[in-house]
Each structure stands twice: as structure tokens, then as C-alpha cells.
Structure 1
Amino acid sequence: MAALASLLDCLLWPARKEEEAEKEEEAGADGPQSLLAAPRCSQRPHGGVAASWGLRFGASAAQGWRAHMEDAHCAWLSLPGLPPGWAFFAVLDGHGGARVARFGARHLPGHVLEELGPAPSEPEGVSQALRRAFLNADERLRSLWPHGEPGGSTAVVLLVSPRFLYLAHCGDSRAVLSRAGALAFSTEDHRPLRPRERERIYNAGGTIRRRRVEGSLAVSRALGDFAYKGAPGRPPELQLISAEPEVAALARQTEDEFVLLASDGVWDAMSGAALVGLVASRLSLGLAPELLCAQLLDTCLCKGSLDNMTCIVVCFPGAPSANEEAIRRELELDTALGRRVAELYASAQEPPSLNTVFRTLASEDIPHLPPGGGLHCKAAVIAEAYSRLFQGSEECREQWLWIISQQQKEVFARIL
């Protein structure tokens, strides 16, 4: 097993067992959610640029500790039939299988386009179109599953126009907006105990047990989950589980920097403010958004996330750009960490484990660690330095371990 995978396994094993026990208690008769013996960390970061209207994005996904990957996502830098400057991004997090999430990633953009029409009215007309699109997509999915097959998916969408940012979501996939260097907006998860959600569930004849709808679902809005959408005489938006999204229309400002969309596996590990700080710091190093996303998911995995993870970062013209001083500090930090790993290795009577090295470093006061991510964001650098002490064992050279450090070095060399 690669050095970083070993580090993750050692660091997270106690927490993993605790969370597995918690999930078993919450799930009741359904049993615990299955977890792998070691996380699957491979990623395929990708991105794109629409230079004419100042948009660029990056995206990545990791299966992590879960036995199956149930997340899906999509990104459209331009929308057919609409003027330049419109774009669409979505992250979907399936439960009970990946089928609903994959359906949403493929077909939700088409439903949005159909409802928008060639000349959408902003902002109210677009907000209503997004609500109808979610409900229509859900109805289409139901027609494909006439027998009510199990499974559902949360969803969070960013629709960009030249004048507004529209954030639509159902469930606990979340989005944050960074503006002028700070967290300016965050969506709020749809949980059964939120007053409006609780009232709808009770009015539809449902119950809430263990903070879950009917003791089972932890979210109160989702695509699919048709077993919870059969209350007679009630429209789709008033069922126990609703596919109706909450929509926020935010007027664009020159201070807008980026929007981060992510499934709940990311939010399990980091707060919105911490993620905004981490993303901004990585952009100041000149990292491409897709490599930033890969580093962010590695950081969340190292910080203890057990779920599938997917994130999309959409950058606007006001996003932080490469800063020579920030790059110089990062290079000095990487060098200092490598030197400290060598010192710890040399001073020990017996070669310390990578886990011991990491925990020792975590107890020390190390300046200029990445905001939000801290030492966990530098796990790949630490694992790389540790692996060199074993004369570059091939088992420490898996691509996923090197992608961030190697690409980051190329960026530094190009800028300095």
C-alpha cells in the first residue's frame, strides 16, 4: 500500500470504527453502511475555461472509504440556445445506489434548458424555471421506474448568467460563495428537523425518528425516493420527501471570487469558512481549479471523511491569482516539512512509522500551514519526503500520491 494510503488508514481507523458504530445505531434494522478496508483515493481531475466571459472551473471526485461510488456531477460552460455568459454546474449525491445521481447529471441540464426557454426573465422567472426543472426531472424519473425502485439523490446546482448566480439545491449537497475574501453565502441542508421540513413531513402523515424521515432518510428533499412520495391528494412539493429545490438568486458583483459545490462527504470534514480559506490559498499559488479540487478531496480524506466526495470550483474574474510571496512561502513550507521528516527519522532509535511522523508534526507549531486544511493539506508532501528515506520504493509512487506535488512544482517553476 502506498505511503499516504497507509497514513490515512492509521490516522482514521479509530474514528472510522466509531462512525461505523454510529451509523449502525442510526440505521437500525437496515444495518451499517459498508466500508472498505482501505480508501480508494484515485481521482480524475478535469476542468475548462470560457475566457470570453471570464469563467473557469475544476472538478474532481473520489470514492473514498465507501464500497461503491454513488456521486455524479456535470459542468456546462455554455448553454445551447442561450446567449454567451450562461453556464450550468451540478453535484449529485446518490443514496441506495448511483442510478438517480447519474440520471440527474445526464438529464437535469436538459430540463433546466427546456424550462428557461430562449429569453428567461431574471431573476424570478429563472428561479421558478429551476424549481419546475427539478420537479419535472423527478417526474420523468418516476415514469422510468413505474414500480418505485428504491434509491434517491441530493443535488446542488449553480446556474450562471451575466447578471446573477442561481443556487438551487435539495438535500445536503451544499454550495458556498466567496466574495471579497470571505464566505458570503451558503446553502442550508434540508434536514427533517428544520421547522418547514418537519411541518411538511407531519402534514403528509409521516414521522421523524432518530432525526430521519420514517427513521430511514437523513434528508428531507431529494430526487427519487418514490416510496416516500405517495401521500394521496398532495402535490409533489408537499410529499414526505420533496424534489422541490430551494433557490437563491444572487446579483453578481465584481468582488465575486468563486463558488464551491460539493457533496456532503466534503462538508463532513470541513466547514464552509475553512473551505473558502483553503480554496483561496490554493488559487494564490497558481493551481489550476481541477488540481485544487483534487488537493481539497485529499485533504478531506485525511481529515476523516468516510463518504464519497465530489467537488466543483467555479472561478470568476475576481478570483485570487498567483502571488509570488504566497508561492515562496509554500515552497519554504514544503522544504521545512521535508527537512523535519528527515530529522525525525534520523533521531529515532528505530525507524518511525509514517503515522508517528505525522502525529509528531501535528503536535508542533508549524508556521504558514494552509488555512482551513492545516497539516492535513500537506499529507502528500510528508508522505513523499518519508518515502524518499526508503530510497524511493516503487510502492510509494502511485500516481494519485504525486499528482498534486508534481503539478504544483511545475506551476511554481513557471511563475518564479
Structure 2
Amino acid sequence: MAAGTEFSPAFAMLEGGFNVSVGEDEISQNSDHLKQMAIRKPPRHLSVVRQSMSTATLLQPMNTEFGVGIVAAKSGSDGKSEFLPIIRSGSCAEKGPKQYMEDEHICIDNLLEYLDGTEGFPPPGAFYGVFDGHGGTDAASYVRKNILKFIVEDSQFPVCLEKAIHNAFVKADHAFAENSSLDISSGTTALTALIFGRTMVVANAGDCRAVLGKRGRAIELSKDHKPNCASERLRIEQLGGAIYDGYLNGQLSVARALGDWHMKGPKGSACPLSAEPELQEVVLTEDDEFVIIGCDGLWDVMSSQCAVTITRKELMIHNDPERCSRELVREALKRNTCDNLTVIVICFSPDPPPRIEIPQTRVRRSISAEGLNFLKGVLDSNS
């Protein structure tokens, strides 16, 4: 090949179907590296061309129907945005491979209408919750029916949503213990999402999870409260509890739950099994497309990013959050989940997510015949 012949740079394939072109600095560095290798035979299987993600150029995805995972999406809106979400949702719940269905959930797309025009907070308003029961259905059913009432009746509502929600979790736990008609040894994890205007407050006690889809990126809005989690283990051990084979006191696979009063001390006392939620507040922007709320039957077999990728792809096809939730449940069953499945998909726009376009570029570099012959020699020595 004659000197000065144009030669396209090497490409690396990343997970998700992205091509990475090697930048000019890498080509220069590799040329120097190859010249050094000419002095001695390089070791076998040595990578001749090294890719550096710090200077790599992300090109258009090979499978553009997903339209996700691109780091170069436009930045989020600032606090001066006039964006207001238009909320719609869909849900799906399946017993799965278990003998009984112990999950409960709640979906309220128009909370202001549901509360009959309660004053003091801006529209739109919505409320969602997933409650993963264990040891029976009493705890999950009771919390689903009463948690919103405890929130709106709290003295902090709606001035301080986080305090009102925190108090409601604890009050619901105590009220459940006082109900003599229920099996107070049953328990439930609980995750709720309360939306007022642009503000969304996620509260979680247990191992359900809320994941925000932000222009194709998955952002976790809750933490799984497993006993082996470092912060939960520390809290448990400081309160006299122990963890055996990943189970709290050898009995429970979560570190926080409502109910389970056979494992708790007197009401109001600190104990290793806590009903107090962790809270996350989010101010929604145009980049926030949807939220997925699911019990651990989903997350045991699927990563947060995978769930966001599937949901975004489905919304781009049919724009139906209920069909998205069914698809996530179907995919979890295909992956052999061992638990009940409950999934809620909440969208913040009436339109499907837009395709994320990044201009495709072609980077071409010239390489001399000497360089090509040198590279051929190195490759031959590794064969």
C-alpha cells in the first residue's frame, strides 16, 4: 500500500452496541509502543491497540431502537424551568412461581381529585406504593389501605412532606400492632412515591426499589435495605441484633419492614428491625422521563439500567406505561425470578421518549506504508 493511504482507526465494541474510535493521542502512543516492541518480540496475546475511554468518541448506537445509554445527552434543566409533569401510570402484579400472592400496590394519578381538593399544595399530584408482604398478607394489605391517610392527616402535611411521610410509616406500623383482628407477626416492606408539582418524594423501608429513567440513564432513588448492607449491618449490630447467612436474627432477609412484631420490642423503642423509611426528594425536569417502582422479585433478576432500557424501548414503540410494566414482569419471569412480582411505571409526559441523536462522525487518519508494515510484523509475531 502506498504511503499516505487513508486508514480508518480501530474500533472497540462496548456493552449496549456502541462503537468507540481511538483518538489521535492513542494512535501516537501506540506508534511509539510498537517501535519499542520491534526491539524484542512482544509477549503473545498482547493488545496492540489500546482504547482509552477518557478520549474515546461515542458514535451512534448500532441498535438505535433502544435510544439509550448515551452519556452525551443534553444536560438537565436548571431550577428556573417552567416544566410541570403530566402524570400517567400503569401497573402489573403477578404471583409468579410462589404459591401465594403477598404483594399489594396502589396507583393514584390524580391525587388532588382523590383527596377532594385539599388545599396547600400545587397540582399535579399523584401517589404510588408497592408493599411486598411476607408471613401472610395482613401487613401489606393494612399498609396499602392506610398509609396515605396517615400521610395527609399528619400535622406536617403538606408543609414538610418528608416529615409527614416519615411519621406516617411509623404510625402505620404502630397502628397495625394495635389491630387485634390482624396477624401482627406478618410483615411488609414499603416503598411510596408522592408527587406534588415538580417535587417527588420517594420513601423506602425494605428492598423494593424506585429507579428514575433520565434520558435513558438509570438513577436509583432508593437503597435496598438488606441486612448485609454495611450501614444496615452497623445499625443492626449497634442495637443488639445479629446477621446469620444474610438474615436478620436468622429470620428475615430485610433490615427494615413494617409489621413483624414478633421481632420488635415495645412500641417506640429502637430495635434492629426498623420501620423508619429512608427518603429521597427529586425536583423533576424535562430530562426525567419515567420512574419504575418494583418489588425485589424484579430487581433480583434485573439491573436498574436493564429495566430502564426495556421501559424506554417499549415506550418509544407504543407509549403505554401499563404495557411496559407487563413487559418487565414478563422478562423477570423469563429470567426465573423466585418471588411475587409487582411493577409500576410512572411517566411524566404524554409523549413517548425522544430518540437521542448524536451526530455520527468519521475519524480518518493517515498512516505510512512503513507504519503498516511495522504493524503487520507485530501482528504476525503474535500469531
Report which stretch shifted further, 77-86 or 151-160. Answer: 77-86
Per-residue deviation, residues 155-183 of structure 1 (Å, max 9, x unmatched): 11111111311110000011101112211
Distance 1:322 1:213 in 2: 44
User: Over aligned residue pairs, what C-alpha RMSD do you find?
Assistant: 2.3
Q: Does 1:68 align with 2:97?
A: no
Tell me, yes or no, if structure 1 residue 173 matches structure 2 residue 208: yes
Q: Which has the larger radius of gyration?
A: 2
| Distance (whole Å) between structure 2 residues aligned to residue 116 and residue 308 of structure 1 | 35
Task: Give the alignment of 1:5-404 within 5 angstroms.
Answer: 54-77=86-109, 78-79=111-112, 80=115, 81-82=118-119, 83-115=122-154, 120-121=158-159, 125-145=160-180, 149-230=184-265, 235-236=268-269, 238-317=270-349, 320-321=352-353
- Check 1:321–1:203 CA distance in 2 against 1; reply closer, same or farther (3 A cut): closer
Paired residue type of 1:170: A
The letter for the 2-side match of 1:85 is P
Deviation for aligned residue 1:147? 9.1
Q: 1:280 to 1:319 in 2, by over 3 A?
A: farther
Between the two structures, name the one with larger relative contact order (CA 8 Å, sep ≥ 6): 2
Identify the structure with the greater helix proportion: 1
User: SS state of the match for residue 190, structure 1?
Assistant: coil
Checking the alignment, whether the CA contact within 8 Å between 1:94 and 1:153 is kept in structure 2 is yes
State the Cα distance separating 1:199 from its structure 2 match.
2.7
CA distance in 2, matches of 1:179, 1:64: 29
Return the letter of the residue paired with 1:84. P
**Structure 2 segments unaligned to the other structure (5+ residues):** 1-83, 356-383
Change (3 A) 1:148 1:283: closer
Tell me which amino acid in the other structure corresponds to 2:184.
E
CA–CA distance in 2 between the matches of 1:73 and 1:181?
Answer: 26
Report if aligned partners of 1:148, 1:227 keep a CA contact under 8 Å in 2.
no
Give me the whole-angstrom Cα distance separating, in 2, the residues matched to 1:210 and 1:108: 32
CA contact (8 A) 2:107 2:129 kept: yes
1: CA distance, partners of 2:351 / 2:253: 35
Change (3 A) 1:145 1:190: farther
TM-score by length of 2: 0.65
Structure 1 portions without partners, runs of 5+: 1-51, 324-416
Please report the TM-score for the alignment, with normalisation by the length of structure 1.
0.60
2 CA distance for matches of 1:59 and 1:189? 21
Offset from partner CA, 1:47-73 (integer Å, 9 cap, x none): xxxxx9511000010001100000000
Distance 2:285 2:353 in 1: 18
Q: CA deviation at 1:257?
A: 0.4
Q: 1:288-330: CA deviations, max 9, x gaps?
A: 111221122111101111210000000002863488xxxxxxx
Flag the 1:319–1:97 CA change in 2: closer, same or farther, 3 A.
Answer: farther
Displacement of 1:202: 2.2
SS of residue paired to 1:284: helix
- Give distance in 1, aligned partners of 2:139 and 2:184: 10
Give the whole-Å Cα distance in 2 for the aligned partners of 1:294 and 1:147.
Answer: 32
Q: 2 CA distance for matches of 1:198 and 1:188? A: 14
Q: Percent identity?
A: 34
Give, as a single letter, the amino acid of the residue that structure 1 aligns with 2:108.
Answer: W
136 and 149 in structure 1: CA distance in 2 versus 1, 3 angstrom threshold: closer
1:245-281 CA-to-partner distances (Å, cap 9, x unmatched) read 0000111112110010001101112100000000000
- Structure 1, residues 59-115: CA drift from partner, whole Å, max 9, x if none? 010001100000000011214115421110000100111111111111111111112
Kindly indicate whether the alpha-carbon contact (under 8 Å) linking 2:201 and 2:282 is maintained by their aligned counterparts in 1: yes
